[in-house]
């Protein structure tokens, strides 16, 4: 477990650098889940995530010699912004490796925060790819490495989130903390478990990247063969060795949340409460429904980790949400080669509340028809059964591809 005194020291270093973010009671969620829900708003941090805390704490404690040489890091985006901000503030040169898949908004923010003090290198498809490149660069140039999670000073810096929670609420029953590499979870859980051993700390991961849950279940580090990269701020194949050693003793449980549910949360927070969060920032709030029975009547804190969301991802977020809610369905339909087939399809297949939102069709020849890709949006999930029955009656060759990963990825 990380020493509380180390986290207290980090908090002093961060004075005047990182904001003491609000801890807000949320009445709507409290009524919805029958609990007392508080949001720790790290999405309102200077760099729009908690990552500044750990990055600054590590870089500021480097030797003068290491600072003069410069630092290097690997990041999916948020850690990069924290490092960039810290490099400029401390006047330390930094080289930042990021995946090529990083949203443009995050890359641009790194450029703005770091200005002339940082160089950005885009490489690979995942955090793990750019991490390997960054380590090689670090070794070749004998530079200090600012790890996004697997470093003591980083965990101590992230632990200041827990200190701020404790300073405001000392009788919380449950803390929900997002988990990617485990740095935030290790720091927050260490501080709060030391102050109150009875407090329950639950880590939350995306369903497509359950690296901490897998490690805790097996009792050792697990490197996942494949991960879903959508929740980019929490999508790592393997958690840190140091973070795992802490979390296995401080986390009471781990839960995973489907990516589609995360998307629904993002849209609801924006539309109903004017709160902008990125996918990783929506993790803990998304888990409330899954944990409702366990949280009833309790005082619960959700750590909202970040708000660096790219507006260009809005359509994808909406699409994933609709599919998770059972409102968007895709079909491969082989139309008869005769006039009026499409009109017949629309008139017979669609219910009064159904809407075609996508239609792609290529007529190969007068005698040969390729399948059409048809996207149908429903008003209510329960309308699906009737739609499927009408599809089967009209043409048994109609194939729903939502649950076929290979076909879905190929066509959609």
Backbone angles phi, psi at 94, to 5 degrees: -130, 145
Give the pLDDT of residue 364: 59
Give the pLDDT of residue 387: 93
Give the pLDDT of residue 347: 86
Q: Are residues 193 and 71 in the same domain?
A: no
Q: Are residues 283 and 158 in the same domain?
A: yes
Residues 29-45 pLDDT 10s: 999 999 999 999 999 99
Q: E strands within 179-238?
A: 200-206
pTM for the whole thing? 0.92
Q: Are residues 248 and 122 in the same domain?
A: no
Give the pLDDT of residue 345: 83
Question: Quick check: helix, strand or coil at residue 229?
Answer: coil
Q: Are residues 207 and 347 in the same domain?
A: no
Q: Are residues 121 and 188 in the same domain?
A: no
Q: Are residues 200 and 346 in the same domain?
A: no
- Rounded Cα gap, residues 42 and 49, in angstroms: 5
Q: Are residues 257 and 187 in the same domain?
A: yes
The domain that holds 68 is classified in CATH as 3.40.50.1100
Q: Are residues 171 and 293 in the same domain?
A: yes
Give the pLDDT of residue 370: 67
Q: Give the number of domains in the chain.
A: 3
Could you list the residue range(s) of the whole structural domain that residue 402 is in? 327-411
Of 318, 339, 359, the position where a domain reaches its end is 318
- Rounded Cα gap, residues 266 and 255, in angstroms: 18
- Rounded Cα gap, residues 251 and 273, in angstroms: 30
Q: Are residues 277 and 362 in the same domain?
A: no
The domain that holds 342 is classified in CATH as 3.30.70.260
Q: Are residues 31 and 93 in the same domain?
A: no
Give the pLDDT of residue 403: 83
Of 149, 165, 187, the position where a domain reaches its end is 149
Give the pLDDT of residue 104: 80
- Using an 8 Å Cβ cutoff, are 158 and 305 in contact? no
- Using an 8 Å Cβ cutoff, are 114 and 108 in contact? no
Name the residue with tokens 């509380």: 4
Q: Are residues 227 and 367 in the same domain?
A: no
Of 92, 120, 149, the position where a domain reaches its end is 149
Give the pLDDT of residue 371: 81
Residues 335-390 pLDDT 10s: 777 777 788 888 888 989 999 999 887 665 555 556 889 999 999 999 999 999 99
Known catalytic residues are: 51, 305
Cβ atoms within 10 Å, residue 173: 17
Q: Are residues 375 and 304 in the same domain?
A: no
Give the chain's residues under pLDDT 50: none
């Amino acid at each position: 477990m990380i020493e509380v005194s180390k986290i207290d020291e980090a908090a002093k270093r961060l004075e005047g650098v990182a904001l003491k973010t609000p801890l807000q009671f949320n009445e709507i969620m409290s009524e919805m889940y029958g609990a007392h829900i508080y949001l720790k708003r790290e999405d309102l941090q200077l760099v729009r995530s908690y990552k500044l805390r750990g990055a600054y704490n590590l870089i500021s404690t480097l030797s003068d010699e290491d600072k003069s040489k410069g630092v290097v890091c690997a990041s999916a985006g948020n850690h990069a912004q924290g490092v960039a901000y810290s490099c400029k503030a401390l006047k330390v040169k930094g080289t930042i490796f990021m995946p090529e898949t990083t949203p443009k908004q995050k890359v641009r923010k790194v450029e703005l925060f770091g200005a002339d003090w940082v160089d950005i290198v885009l490489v690979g498809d995942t955090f793990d790819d750019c991490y390997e490149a960054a380590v090689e660069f670090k070794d070749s140039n004998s530079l200090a490495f600012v790890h996004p999670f697997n470093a003591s000073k980083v965990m101590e810096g992230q632990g200041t989130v827990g200190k701020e929670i404790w300073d405001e609420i000392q009788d919380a029953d449950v803390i929900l903390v997002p988990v990617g590499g485990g740095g935030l979870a290790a720091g927050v859980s260490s501080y709060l478990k030391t102050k109150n051993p009875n407090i329950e700390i639950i880590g939350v991961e995306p369903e497509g990247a359950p690296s901490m849950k897998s490690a805790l279940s097996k009792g050792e580090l697990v490197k996942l063969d494949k991960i879903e990269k959508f929740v980019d701020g929490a999508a790592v194949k393997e958690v840190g060795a140091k973070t795992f050693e802490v979390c296995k003793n401080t986390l009471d449980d781990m839960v995973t949340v489907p990516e589609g549910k995360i998307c629904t949360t993002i849209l609801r927070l924006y539309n109903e409460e004017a709160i902008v969060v990125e996918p990783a920032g929506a993790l803990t709030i998304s888990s409330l429904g899954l944990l409702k029975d366990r949280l009833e009547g309790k005082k619960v804190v959700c750590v909202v980790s970040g708000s660096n969301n790219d507006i260009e991802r809005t359509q994808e977020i909406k699409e994933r949400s609709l599919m998770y809610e059972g409102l968007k369905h895709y079909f491969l339909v082989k139309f008869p080669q005769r006039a009026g087939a499409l009109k017949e399809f629309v008139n017979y297949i669609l219910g009064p509340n159904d809407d075609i939102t996508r239609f792609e069709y290529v007529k190969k020849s007068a005698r040969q028809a390729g399948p059409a890709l048809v996207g149908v949006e429903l008003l209510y999930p329960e309308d699906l059964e009737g739609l499927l029955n009408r599809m089967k009656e009209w043409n048994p060759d109609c194939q729903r591809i939502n649950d076929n990963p290979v076909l879905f990825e190929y066509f959609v």
